[in-house]
């Protein structure tokens, strides 16, 4: 809703909105974190506290399966938005406390930053060795999913010939058919969403010219920005938006499986691949259970279940049926995994983010205003 307001706003109102957007994460510290509890299947002996910037429905089958292996563990699942989780975890680490026993976040740059600051606990279990090198830093942050970043569109409303298959095509489409797509394309608001910022940053690193054209086209087309994938997908499903840019394939595919009339395009020029990160805070009170959970996520059993129920893709690039665009992105070399490495510290640099977001806002939000 934030984005819509901005789009319609008057300059004064815009300023107010920006202020609100700035204070909103602080305010949401308490309210936005929703706690769910999964009681132990048998007599409770320990509590595993998971603080996650990941949808509970996606994680639920994994948590339940983990509990069948650890029937005496009660699992607490606290849900955040990526930036809030990072802020809370950073603060806890500075104060020498721990935020839960396991942190899950799609904002892997934030987890890398936490690890760099010495806020992580290392895990050395056999399962962690099967993780690809790019998805493991210092045995402290692990990527446990393989999620291509895709275009999503409403099948009913977007004609087949309009469906873009590359980043350049989406830019051209918005430029050539402004009347159809004006205000009907959605993407992350990178000011609010850590994952949105990470994806946009990586887009800019891929091909600067394409990124520039794309940003310009999005701005011209008065793209709608939202905090979360869910909101954009809701609107595409409802037909208010036609195309979603930089959506996580897992969420979109879950909706398609649930019957939504959505199309999903794996870009054929390059496909960013996000690996959701997991780490254990340095001061975790139940680090052993945390390590068990992480190794469960990385184990064959956890990976198979995740591929079937939650995230739908595997590290080898296996994709479920019903995808459009590039097939087998790993084999053809289209995949651009976002490596979990200290290089992500550049993404997390305050000055660089400030400038990147400023440029982005200038192109996207200020353009929209005109």
Partner 1 sequence: MAHREPSLFTRLIVLISLVLMAGAAALTTAAWYYAREAANDAYDRLLVGAAYQMAEALNVQGGTLTVELPVSAFELLANSERDRIFYKIVEPGGRTLTGYADLVTPENDAPAMGSPDVRDGRFKGVDVRVTKVGRSFSDPSVQGRVDVVVAQTTEARTALARELTLRAVALIIVMSALALGGAVFAIRYALRPIGRVGAVLRDRDPHDVTLITVSTPRELRPFVSAANAFIARLKNRMDLMQQFIADAAHQIRTPLTALKAQLQLLSRQPMDPQALQYLTRVQERVDQLSHLAGQLLSHAMVNHRAGAVPLEPVDVAEVVRRAIREAVPETLDRDVLISLELPPVPVTIAGDAISLKEAVKNVIDNAVRHGAPSQLTLRVCQKLHTVDIEVKDDGPGIPPELWSQVTERFSAHSPGGSGLGLSIAANVLAACSGSLSFRHEDGNGFVVIMSLPNETGPKA
The binding site for partner 1 (CB under 8 A) comprises 115-118, 137-138, 205, 341-347, 349-352, 355
- Minimum distance between the CB of residue 119 and partner 1, rounded to whole angstroms? 10
Contact indicator for 274, 248 with CB cutoff of 8 Å:
yes
- Minimum distance between the CB of residue 201 and partner 1, rounded to whole angstroms? 9
- The terminus-to-terminus CA distance of the chain in angstroms comes to 19
Query: Looking at beta carbons only, is 233 or 344 nearer to partner 1?
Result: 344
- Minimum distance between the CB of residue 249 and partner 1, rounded to whole angstroms? 24
Contact indicator for 48, 76 with CB cutoff of 8 Å:
yes
Query: Looking at beta carbons only, is 11 or 96 nearer to partner 1?
Result: 96
Task: Kindly tell me the burial class for residue 338, based on how many C-beta atoms sit within 10 Å of its own C-beta (0-12, 13-18, 19 or more).
Answer: buried
- Minimum distance between the CB of residue 140 and partner 1, rounded to whole angstroms? 9
3-state secondary structure of 124: coil
Contact indicator for 281, 121 with CB cutoff of 8 Å:
yes
- Minimum distance between the CB of residue 94 and partner 1, rounded to whole angstroms? 11
Query: Looking at beta carbons only, is 177 or 355 nearer to partner 1?
Result: 355
Query: Looking at beta carbons only, is 114 or 152 nearer to partner 1?
Result: 114
DSSP letter (8 states) at residue 77: E
Q: What would the DSSP string read from start to end of 174-215?
A: HHH-HHHHTT-EEEE-TTT-HHHHHHHHHHHHH-HHHHHHHH
Query: Looking at beta carbons only, is 44 or 117 nearer to partner 1?
Result: 117
């Amino acid at each position: 809703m934030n984005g819509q307001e901005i789009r319609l706003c008057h300059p004064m109102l815009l300023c107010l909105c920006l202020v609100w957007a700035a204070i909103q994460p602080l305010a949401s510290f308490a309210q936005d974190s929703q706690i769910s509890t999964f009681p132990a299947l048998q007599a409770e002996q320990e509590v595993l506290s998971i603080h996650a910037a990941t949808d509970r429905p996606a994680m639920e089958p994994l948590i339940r399966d983990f509990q069948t292996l650890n029937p005496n563990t009660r699992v607490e699942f606290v849900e955040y938005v990526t930036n809030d989780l990072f802020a809370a975890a950073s603060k806890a680490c500075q104060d020498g406390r721990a935020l839960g026993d396991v942190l899950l976040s799609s904002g892997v740059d934030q987890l890398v930053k936490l690890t760099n600051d010495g806020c992580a606990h290392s895990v050395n279990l056999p399962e962690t060795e099967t993780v690809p090198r790019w998805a493991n830093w210092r045995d402290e942050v692990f990527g446990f999913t393989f999620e291509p970043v895709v275009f999503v569109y409403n099948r009913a409303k977007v004609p087949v010939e309009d469906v873009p298959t590359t980043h350049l095509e989406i830019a051209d489409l918005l430029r050539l058919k402004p009347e159809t797509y004006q205000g009907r394309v959605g993407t992350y608001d990178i000011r609010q969403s850590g994952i949105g910022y990470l994806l946009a940053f990586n887009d800019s690193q891929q091909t600067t010219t394409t990124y520039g054209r794309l940003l310009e086209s999005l701005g011209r087309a008065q793209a709608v920005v939202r905090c979360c994938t869910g909101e954009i997908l809701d609107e595409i499903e409802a037909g208010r938006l036609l195309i979603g840019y930089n959506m996580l394939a897992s969420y979109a595919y879950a909706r398609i499986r649930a019957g939504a009339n959505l199309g999903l395009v794996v870009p054929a020029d390059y496909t960013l691949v996000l690996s959701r990160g997991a780490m254990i805070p340095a001061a975790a009170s139940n680090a052993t259970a945390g390590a068990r959970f992480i190794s469960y996520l990385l184990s064959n059993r956890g990976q198979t279940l995740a591929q079937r129920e939650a995230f739908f893709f595997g590290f080898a690039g296996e994709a479920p049926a019903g995808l459009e665009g590039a097939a087998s992105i790993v084999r053809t070399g289209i995949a651009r995994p976002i490596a979990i490495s200290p290089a992500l510290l550049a993404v997390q640099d305050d000055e660089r983010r400030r400038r990147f977001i400023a440029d982005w806002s200038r192109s996207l939000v200020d353009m929209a205003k005109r």
